[in-house]
Chain A
């Protein structure tokens, strides 16, 4: 009976020692060439070193993380953001109905852009149009606006309050929008993708941010000689996190 008790005690002590040592090993694994320190509750995280590099990674999900071997190195997320969040982009009112565009009257529509870049080093949203507003299948277009003074382009904003100046353009107001949109009277053209104009920034912030919103106002005006018809185009917004 006594020997059984001794055996059980030895077994418990051995098991306890094994569990303790296993815990210690899990907290701090070392070898001559590789060190892993776990200091984060994510899937993998912490500081990793080898003879040639030191890495702090912030992986948090299956198939996301760092893989290092003799031949490749992958770092996911940002070194200075330990909790990886989702980068989210939303557009309200996907279809902006400009109604029946009549000469001498502005037609407008709105949509709201929302960005959540918590867990990412800032963000940028760019915009471009597929082509100027046009009757599908024809070459009949409403040209992009040049504003009151004929000076606004895809990169320069200007006042557009005169509906006798025909065209199509946009204003944007809210968080992180370009300073060129001084107030609601300032408009720009969308960059024309079919003419190889580069997409233009409509929202950007270098900081980690959450719930940033801006309202885009689309505006169209025509003159009396504009051909009748249903005009349309597509605006593509590209939202990306920082790098």
Chain B
């Protein structure tokens, strides 16, 4: 009887240990999977520019896709963004909401209400913008923000920092009765070297400022003319948006080698084999409904490195000669 009891007890112990091992294995595997999980989200189109009269309404659709390894809880919201200083980088301000005229048209979704986006699936969000008649004529720089949170996060039992991915697309909204651009686009700063070495590149920086009520696209060109009157380099300006009352560092437009219809942004950098003499830089900048603002700047290319090289060579020869000169 005692032997049978001992046998049963040992069996029970083995079963309990086995169950505990399975539970621990499943739990640790789940946690490891969560640690290794990847959140990935895509959205299109990446930018919307909307000009609308007071009293009108429009809809704009955005497609969001969960490309990660885990189902997500997605919360859409529309918040302000503002450009950072001279760089113009957009800084999203999740706490600031100054545009009350937008909502989602989807029957099953609303702003600030989470919905589930399963892995591998996509959803279309239709934003409806209805501007009342009495709305003020001004620009609103908004971001459709999709905040995500992985579903079924487990407690790890140790100190953790959990990363949440939030993706957004910007909407430049102009409420305007006439659709006419108000204000002008001006050259805020143009930086360039006044003296360069004959073998050095010429690196320039162009900062534009938009005065007036609405954003605009920058247009124009930066050209470099040699002392013979020949234009040795021409940079078309990439048509980037400059927001009302803000600055933006502009870029040169470079053809995309993979697709000649596209343009890539590039620095204003002139890198010839050799430069020599005085040069004139001409900057022409304008917005869509404005006469170009034109400014000229001058720099000179001097043989600084050849002179230094020849000087160093001369000194070296003098030293060598002095040392090798036979003493009388």
Contact = CB atoms under 8 A, between A and B. Distances in A.
Interface in B236-279: 238-241, 243, 249, 251, 253, 256, 259, 261-266
A241 B46 contact: yes
Nearest to A168: B161
B81 A240 contact: yes
Interface string A87-121: 11111111111111100000101010010110111
A54 B157 CA distance: 60
Interface residues of B, number: 85
Given A84-B44, A96-B163, A126 B38 contact: no
B166 interface: yes
A79 B239 contact: yes
Interface size bucket, A side? 35 or more
A133 B150 contact: no
A72 B53 contact: yes
A124 B60 CA distance: 23
Nearest to B260: A82
A124 B87 CA distance: 11
Contacts of A97: 35, 156, 158-160
Interface stretch (A14-22, A28-36, A60-68, A144-152): A60-68
Interface of B: 34-53, 55-56, 58-61, 63, 65, 67-68, 70, 81, 84, 87, 89-95, 124, 126, 141, 143, 145, 147, 150, 153, 156-170, 172, 179-180, 217, 238-241, 243, 249, 251, 253, 256, 259, 261-266, 288
Given A207-B266, A238-B168, 17 more contacts: A63-B126, A72-B56, A80-B238, A86-B44, A86-B65, A88-B42, A90-B67, A96-B163, A100-B158, A120-B47, A199-B92, A199-B94, A201-B91, A208-B265, A238-B166, A240-B143, A241-B170
Interface of A: 40, 52-54, 59-64, 67, 71-101, 107, 109, 111, 114, 116-117, 119-122, 124, 126, 129, 133, 168, 193, 196, 198-199, 201, 204, 206-208, 218, 220, 230-243
